[in-house]
């Protein structure tokens, strides 16, 4: 049996009973704690995740001891782990890459347990400090998310996401997102020039919160990827569209958004604001730096409480316009 464990010290529990007034005939009634709630997770690597939940309302009771965490993957059930009272954020390491796990958390006393809350999750590969460069640079504007490779226009058909710094309507509009939505491609998502001219860019979905004003990318302002937890499938309830996160020259905080590649791999991407700005470096080699987690197993949006069905022909929303396919 594969060993899994908490990446922190675990507090033990001692045996403790509580009963009603002893009349000589009544059976003592044991205290059963209320369950925790709002179980959430974030992938730290392909073999480790972080769980977080809202404490049980029973934590103030003297009988309360902590929480028990169990994991099931397929037909494999792992020995339970326990944490102490007040310990509601835990890192779990030693998981198998590419496997989905169902995690269940219950509140415990010395000899009773609450009902459980569960979440299905899978680890994701982590990439840090990947750079995409401006149009004028020879370093390449596109990123292949599966391995973090930075690619030039000569390999544009391999881009999953890209940086676009072209002037739109006489205005600077630095943008990052789906290649088919960039100014490198026409309204049908085909490259305009170079060796890739006429070839379609990859269909990368950037999840959107709203269809207002030609679709608005969904994003979260956060200090790190580790700060953004989920309790349902990435993109649940969002619109699937090919779009860019625009006007990066005006952003001063980290922006986290979700993407899905043409092959169905989900990613959570953070555009990093370093020194209060997302755009870094000097011309002609300015760049944006990204951290991201990438689910190497296709069609696994981390938490599987609800699915995110694929759509055959996601809309293309070009930079600075309302044109859509």
Which pLDDT tens digits describe the chain residue by residue (325 residues)? 556 665 543 333 322 223 344 555 677 889 999 999 999 999 999 999 999 999 999 999 999 999 999 999 988 888 899 999 999 999 999 998 888 899 999 999 999 999 999 999 989 999 999 999 998 899 999 999 999 999 998 999 999 999 999 877 788 889 999 999 999 999 999 999 888 899 999 999 999 988 776 798 999 999 999 999 998 888 888 999 999 999 998 899 999 999 999 999 999 999 999 999 999 999 999 999 999 999 998 888 876 644 455 666 788 888 875 433 3
Parallel, antiparallel, or unpaired for β 161-164 and 149-151? Answer: unpaired
Q: At which of 92, 122, 152 does a domain end?
A: 122
pLDDT tens, position by position, 141-171: 999 999 999 999 899 999 999 999 987 778 8
> 321 lies in a domain?
no
Predicted pLDDT of residue 91: 93
Specify whether 165 is located in the same domain as 290: yes
Q: What's the domain count of the chain?
A: 2
CATH number at 55 reads 2.60.40.10
Q: What is the pLDDT of residue 194?
A: 82
- Residue 324 in domain: no
Task: Mark whether 92 and 135 lie in a shared domain.
Answer: no
**Are residue 203 and residue 164 in the same domain, yes or no?**
yes
Contacts of 239 by beta carbon, 8 Å cutoff, 6+ apart: 207, 208, 209, 210, 211, 215
Examine residue 237 and state whether it is found in any structural domain, yes or no.
Answer: yes
Is 180 in a helix, a strand, or coil? Answer: helix
16/68 same-domain check: yes
Q: Which of 122, 148, 171 is the last residue of a domain?
A: 122
Identify any residues that bridge with 239 across adjacent strands, giving them in sequence order: 208
Check whether residue 273 and residue 305 sit in a common domain.
yes
- What is the SS3 assignment for 75? coil
Cα 299 to Cα 28, 114, 117, 167, 263, distances in angstroms = 50, 33, 24, 36, 8
Q: Are residues 68 and 205 in the same domain?
A: no
Asked if residues 231 and 38 have their Cβ atoms less than 8 Å apart, the reply is: yes
Which positions ≥6 away from 295 have C-beta within 8 Å? 43, 122, 124, 125, 265, 266, 267, 301, 302
* Residue 77 domain boundaries: 5-122
Q: How many other C-beta atoms can be found within 10 angstroms of the C-beta atom of residue 102?
A: 15
Last residue of a domain, one of 93, 122, 151: 122
CA distance 36 to 121: 18
Residues in the chain: 325
Let me know whether 249 and 218 are in one domain: yes
- For 1, other C-beta atoms within 10 Å of its C-beta total 7
Considering the domain architecture, whether residues 117 and 156 belong to the same structural domain is answered as: no
The pLDDT of residue 86 is 95
The pTM (predicted TM-score) of the whole model is 0.85
Q: How buried is residue 189: exposed, middle or buried, by Cβ count under 10 Å (0-12/13-18/19+)?
A: buried
């Amino acid at each position: 049996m594969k060993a899994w464990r908490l990446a922190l010290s675990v507090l033990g529990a001692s045996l403790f009973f509580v009963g009603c007034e002893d009349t000589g005939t009544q059976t003592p009634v044991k205290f059963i704690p209320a369950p925790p709630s709002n179980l959430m997770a974030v992938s730290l690597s392909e073999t480790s995740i972080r769980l977080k939940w809202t404490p049980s309302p029973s934590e103030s009771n003297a009988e309360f001891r902590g929480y028990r965490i169990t994991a099931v993957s397929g037909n494999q059930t792992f020995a339970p782990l326990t944490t102490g009272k007040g310990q509601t954020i835990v890192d779990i390491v030693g998981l198998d890459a590419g496997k989905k796990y169902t995690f269940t958390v219950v509140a415990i006393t010395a000899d009773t347990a609450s009902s459980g809350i569960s979440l299905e999750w899978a680890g994701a590969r982590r990439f840090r400090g990947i750079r995409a460069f401006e149009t004028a640079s020879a370093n390449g504007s596109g990123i292949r998310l599966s391995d973090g490779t930075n690619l030039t226009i000569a390999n544009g058909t391999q881009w999953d996401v890209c940086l676009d710094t072209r002037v739109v309507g006489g205005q600077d509009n630095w943008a990052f997102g789906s290649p088919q939505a960039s100014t490198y491609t026409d309204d049908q998502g085909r490259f305009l020039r170079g060796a890739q001219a006429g070839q379609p860019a990859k269909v990368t979905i950037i999840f959107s919160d709203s269809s207002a004003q030609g679709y608005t990318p969904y994003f979260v302002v956060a200090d790190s990827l580790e700060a953004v937890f989920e309790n349902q499938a990435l993109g649940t309830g969002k619109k699937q569209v090919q779009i860019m996160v625009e006007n990066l020259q005006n952003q001063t905080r980290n922006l986290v958004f979700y993407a899905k590649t043409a092959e169905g791999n989900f990613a959570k991407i953070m555009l990093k604001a370093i020194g209060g700005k997302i755009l870094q470096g000097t011309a002609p080699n300015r760049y944006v730096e990204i951290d991201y987690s990438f689910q190497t197993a296709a069609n696994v949006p981390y938490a599987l409480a609800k699915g995110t069905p694929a759509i055959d022909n996601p809309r293309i929303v070009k930079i600075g316009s309302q044109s859509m396919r």
